[in-house]
Amino acid sequence: MFFRGGFAKLLRNLRKGVPLKKFLNLSGFKVALLLTLVVLGIYYLDPPFLNLLELKTLDLRFLSRGKIPTSDKVALVTIDEKSLDELGRWPWPRTRMAQLLDALVKGSAGVVGFDIVWAEPDQNSELMSLTALKRKVAELKLGNPDLERYLDGVLKRADSDRILADSLARSRRAILGYFFHFSPREGPGKKEKSPPKDLPPLTAFNMVRFTSEEAARVPLFEAQYPAVNIPILSRAAEGAGYFNIFPDPDGTVRWAPLVIKYQDRHYCALSLAVLKKYLENAPLGLRIAEFGVEQMRLGKLSIPTSEEGRLLINYRGPQKTFPHYSATDVIHGRTPDNAFRGKIVLVGATAIGIYDMRVTPFEHVFPGLEIHANVIDSILQGHFLHRPNWITLVDILVVVAVGLILGALLHRFKAHWGALVGAALFLSVLVLGKILFENPGVWMNLTYPSLNLVLIYLGVTGYRYMTEEKEKKKIRGAFQYYLTASVVEEMLKNPDKLKLGGEKKDLTVLFSDIRGFTSISEQMTPEGLVRFLNEYLTTMTDIVFKYDGLLDKYMGDAIMAIWGAPLDQPDHVKRACLAALEMVEELHRLQKKWSAEGMPFLNVGIGVNAGPMVVGNMGSDRRFDYTVMGDSVNLGSRLEGLNKTYGTNIIVSEMTFDKVKGEFLARELDLVRVKGKDQPVKIYELLSPVKTASAHQQTLAGGFQDALAEYRKRNWDRAREGFQAVLSKFTHDGPAKLYLERCDALSKNPPPVDWDGVYTMTTK
């Protein structure tokens, strides 16, 4: 309705000859255009955090699209948990891998690619013993040809590398894996040498063209040295490809590097090496221009890549989108007859303990082997996901279109209808991105149109508020505020303070709350409860006023008070501490009175915290009050609640106690991480002003501090003795009882080595 009405009005005005500038709110339109230019500038700079956000939107598009059909030409043979249970832990003897390959050949597999590298000879104990025996026979010069022939035969049968090499050679369809190192070797004697000349070359691009001399110097992924298979295996295989994978900054694998440069040659990934063999040794072509990789071909197939030669992986779906067969089932002949006939078979580890797991858009635990399968299947089907050059123009046009549409329409509607306009436009951008992603496989940027939409909505709406509605709201709302008692004095001093917001100051906040008030109220009649509560609140409020505090508010049975505002009080921390101590002292007097009257026993918890807070008139547009906000305020509330845990009356933070140290006696209670904060806070129980502190209180503080020191050193027995000594003199001391329980628990279940003594609170 609002879309239709807005556009209809535009058309009516145009038909009447009304100039467009009179229909448009030019000020709001200029704001939209300015913000659009800003977003286009950010798009050009492409900051990393927005690039990372766009990658996350790409992941969401994969999840939204879901699973798509595969070519049915790729199968995976996995070294999974079942295989390890039946055939033993990894790595397996090479003879077992030969059995696996022979079984795949028997199953008529088209090509077998190994996502495994055998970089060292297989040193099995039988081979080592036989080699030592033959050496000893040679030293003894027995001159027995039959014995020597026998030993040669036994050695040949024990040489698992030779057995696997023979299997590779017989198969004539095996492609091995290896990987490149990208950091130089460290330490003496680690200078890398070229591979031996008799080592067959790793599968490389046999046709590399440079469009200019500058193109030959384009920096691609350049390796320091390879970790290749041992020569006997490399010579027996049909080829080899690297299986390096480079995750994005967030750890997700979205790209597959198809070309890596090493010693002036360009080598291909395992997926391309396998496809080259599968397509009857189709030639691999690479053309490099001044900006990077311009074209990559495999026979007649053209492969779109980034300038660095990376393929954006068009994942077909989550785990097991491709058929999986356990290696033990293949070896024991428990797979269907035509499971591998004419297919590309990839062999690799998927068991969790072998740690070849990656993060992908679909899952956080995804086998690296299946990533190669996705790359191969995308190339076979010619179903790619890429960002062609023209998509940049589309990105810019969408950003500009969002700016023009919002700039033209937002001023026509109120804020909530404008939000619906923005939401509809946002959904339109998402639908366009989804269509391009799923059908032609084009990655359109969604982050910058969305950013432009949000900025323009906030900017135009904020501009309208400041310019068009500010005066009307001030006139309409002024009469609602002047009767607010807590700001009368501040209004009289400075009428400009009659607005939302405030200033940042160092203040002290006090929170007080009755313990178990709900259960107490259930024992009393409504009338009795009101009298009881009024007497308590009146007494406590008088104490706040006695020390020139500002009573911020009552919250049921709770009290919140502030010192240091609205008038400056250099000693605001001291005033709050004195008020807290007198509140507890007055409570003890009231307890005796209430006990004589048969009233329930009442106890309170008080939290005091000093620190930076925002103070001023805050609230809603219709009603606000003079109050404080900020982390320091929240911490004060949390400190009040901690009294329930420690069985105390007054808890102050370390920041508070540091400002009155020397004037007040307190004991350190704990180092806690309160709910809502990451950094631990040292807390203290406020006991008394130093001048009036009794020997009784000083003994309590000293004994408890000694026991706490032993507790922090993990000396549970000494700490237990110290806390028991405190309890022997102060029978009802809550903190000592709590630490005795902790000592018992920690002595039975000691904390980890890096235990820092911090206690994390899980409740408010």
For 220, the 3-state DSSP assignment is coil
Separation of alpha carbons 446 and 426, rounded Å: 9
Is residue 315, in this structure, part of any structural domain at all? Answer: yes
Domain co-membership, 100 together with 55: no
Residue 612: CATH number of its domain: 3.30.70.1230
Domain co-membership, 429 together with 507: no
Is residue 742, in this structure, part of any structural domain at all? Answer: no
Domain co-membership, 598 together with 651: yes
* Separation in Å, CA 411 to CA 23, 126, 407, 748: 10, 85, 8, 68
Token representation of residue 433: 């991105």
Is residue 721, in this structure, part of any structural domain at all? Answer: no
Half-sphere exposure of 333 (CA within 13 A, CB side): 1
Domain co-membership, 225 together with 256: yes
What pLDDT, on the 0 to 100 scale, is given for residue 152? 53
Is residue 178, in this structure, part of any structural domain at all? Answer: yes
* Separation in Å, CA 60 to CA 1, 311, 371, 375: 31, 19, 18, 20
Separation of alpha carbons 482 and 492, rounded Å: 10
What pLDDT, on the 0 to 100 scale, is given for residue 144? 59
Average pLDDT over residues 425-448: 93
Taken as a whole, the chain contains a residue count of 764
**Reported confidence tier of residue 526, pLDDT bands at 50, 70, 90:** confident
Domain edge (last residue) among 660, 684, 714: 660
Higher-confidence residue: 11 or 71?
Answer: 71
**For residues 70-107, b (16+ Cβ closer than 10 Å) or e, as one string?**
bbeebbbbbbbeebbeebeeeebbbbbbbbbbbbbbeb
Is pLDDT of 464 > 80?
Answer: no
Which pTM does this prediction carry?
0.58
Separation of alpha carbons 631 and 609, rounded Å: 10
> Domain range for residue 355?
74-184+195-381
* Separation in Å, CA 621 to CA 457, 460, 481, 497, 703: 20, 19, 10, 14, 54
**Reported confidence tier of residue 436, pLDDT bands at 50, 70, 90:** very high
Average pLDDT over residues 414-436: 88
**Reported confidence tier of residue 413, pLDDT bands at 50, 70, 90:** confident
Token representation of residue 401: 């279109």
Higher-confidence residue: 668 or 144?
Answer: 668
* C-alpha of 563 from chain center: 40
How would DSSP label each residue in 229-294? --HHHHHHSSEEEE------TTSB--EEE-EEEETTEEEEBHHHHHHHHHTTSPPEEEEEETTEEE
What pLDDT, on the 0 to 100 scale, is given for residue 460? 84
Is pLDDT of 536 > 50?
Answer: yes
Domain co-membership, 340 together with 261: yes
Q: What are phi and psi of 60, to 5 degrees?
A: -65, -30
Average pLDDT over residues 103-111: 96
**Reported confidence tier of residue 2, pLDDT bands at 50, 70, 90:** very low
The predicted-structure confidence for 34-66, as pLDDT tens digits, reads as follows 999 999 999 999 999 999 999 999 999 999 999
Domain co-membership, 318 together with 429: no
* C-alpha of 464 from chain center: 37
Residue type, 732: H
Q: In the predicted model, what is the mean pLDDT of the chain?
A: 83
Higher-confidence residue: 461 or 572?
Answer: 572
Among the listed ranges 246-260, 572-586, 598-612, which one has the minimum average pLDDT value?
598-612
**Reported confidence tier of residue 501, pLDDT bands at 50, 70, 90:** low
* Separation in Å, CA 26 to CA 33, 366, 410, 463: 10, 53, 12, 12
Is residue 718, in this structure, part of any structural domain at all? Answer: no
Higher-confidence residue: 115 or 191?
Answer: 115
Q: Alpha helices, DSSP H only, in 16-47?
A: 20-23, 26-45
Is residue 468, in this structure, part of any structural domain at all? Answer: no
Separation of alpha carbons 20 and 525, rounded Å: 71
**Reported confidence tier of residue 332, pLDDT bands at 50, 70, 90:** very high
**Reported confidence tier of residue 98, pLDDT bands at 50, 70, 90:** very high
Is residue 17, in this structure, part of any structural domain at all? Answer: no
What pLDDT, on the 0 to 100 scale, is given for residue 188? 42
Q: DSSP code of 466?
A: I
Domain co-membership, 290 together with 321: yes
| Beta strand ranges found along 300-362 (DSSP E) | 301-303, 310-312, 324-326, 344-349, 357-358
* C-alpha of 674 from chain center: 22
Domain co-membership, 56 together with 79: no
Domain co-membership, 491 together with 572: yes
Token representation of residue 368: 């690296």
Is residue 227, in this structure, part of any structural domain at all? Answer: yes
**Reported confidence tier of residue 409, pLDDT bands at 50, 70, 90:** confident
Domain co-membership, 94 together with 110: yes
The predicted-structure confidence for 689-738, as pLDDT tens digits, reads as follows 999 888 888 988 899 999 888 888 889 889 899 889 989 888 888 898 99
pLDDT over 70 percentage in the chain: 82
Full 3-state SS string of 145-173: HHHHHHHHHHHHHHCHHHHHHHHHHHHCC
Is pLDDT of 369 > 80?
Answer: yes
**Reported confidence tier of residue 319, pLDDT bands at 50, 70, 90:** very high
Domain edge (last residue) among 660, 684, 709: 660
Separation of alpha carbons 449 and 397, rounded Å: 9
As to burial, measured by CB atoms within 10 angstroms (0-12 exposed, 13-18 middle, 19+ buried), residue 366 is: buried
Is pLDDT of 580 > 90?
Answer: yes
Domain co-membership, 454 together with 502: no
Counting the structural domains of the chain, the total is 3
Domain co-membership, 376 together with 411: no
From the CA atom positions of the chain, what is the Rg in Å? Answer: 38
**Reported confidence tier of residue 616, pLDDT bands at 50, 70, 90:** confident
Domain edge (last residue) among 349, 381, 413: 381
**Reported confidence tier of residue 133, pLDDT bands at 50, 70, 90:** low
Separation of alpha carbons 224 and 247, rounded Å: 19
